[in-house]
Amino acid sequence: MTIKAVVFDAYGTLFDVYSIQALAEEFYPGHGADIAVKWRDKQIEYTRLITQSDPHNSSGSQYFQPFWILTRLSLEYTLDRLKLNRQAGQVEQLMQQYAHRTPFPENLAVLQKIKAMGLTTAILSNGSVDMLSSAVKSAGMVEVLDHLISVDPIRLFKTSPESYGMVQQTIPVDKDEVLFVSSNAWDALGATWFGFTTHWVNRQGLPFEALAPKPHFSGPDLNSVLASLGH
C-alpha cells in the first residue's frame, strides 16, 4: 500500500456532531440527547434526498441547498417534531455552536504526526468551505490540513461518486493512493465502492455494515489511523 494523501470526513470524524447536546439540553431540559440525534439524522436524510432525486444533472441537483441551510432546516424540523418551542434566539445559538463543533481530543496530535510523515492532508465534506474554515480554525487545525474540499461546486452530496471524485480534482493522486477516513459507516462504504483505501473510525463500537465490502481498516478513534499507515 502506497498512501500519498489522507482525506478526512469532517462532521463526526474530526468534529463531534453530538457535542451540541449540552446546549440543547440547557434550552430544552430532558430533550438534549434526542435533539442531537434527530437533528443529525434529518440533516443526512436531506442530503440524500436532494442527491438521489436528481443525480444525473450535469450542473448538479436542481434541489441543492448548501449544507448550512440544510442544517438549520433540520434543526427547525427536529424542534417541531418534538413539539418544542422554536425560539429564534435559541435556534441561532445552536447554529453558531454547530459552526464551532468540538474536535475530538486526539485529532490535532494525529494530524501533526501524519503531516510529519510527508503526506498530503485534506477534508472532504458536505459542509461549505466557510463552515469548514470556521471549524478548522476554532480547532487549531489550519496548519495541519492542506485542503478543505467542499461538495458545493458540484451540488451533489456524499455518497455520490462525483463527491469522492473531487479529491482527485484537487490532489494529483490515484484512487488507491488515498486513505479516506470517516466515522460514518455509510461514508466509508461509499468511499470504498469508489475505489479509495478506507479507514472507518468506529467511535460507537457499532457492527460493520451488512453491505459489503468492509473498509480496509478500522479502529475506535483517530489514533488508529496511524496504525493503518504503519506508524
Identified catalytic residue from 9, 16, 152, 187: 9
Secondary structure (3-state) at 157: coil
* Strands 5-8, 120-125: pairing kind: parallel
- End-to-end, the C-alpha distance of the chain in Å comes to 13
Structural contact between residues 179 and 3, judged by C-beta atoms closer than 8 angstroms: yes
C-alpha 39/C-alpha 78 separation (Å) is: 6
Task: Report helix angle 32-53 to 67-81, nearest 10.
Answer: 130
Q: Is 221 a residue of the active site?
A: no
Secondary structure (3-state) at 61: coil
C-alpha 199/C-alpha 34 separation (Å) is: 28
Any idea which residues carry the catalytic annotation? Answer: 9
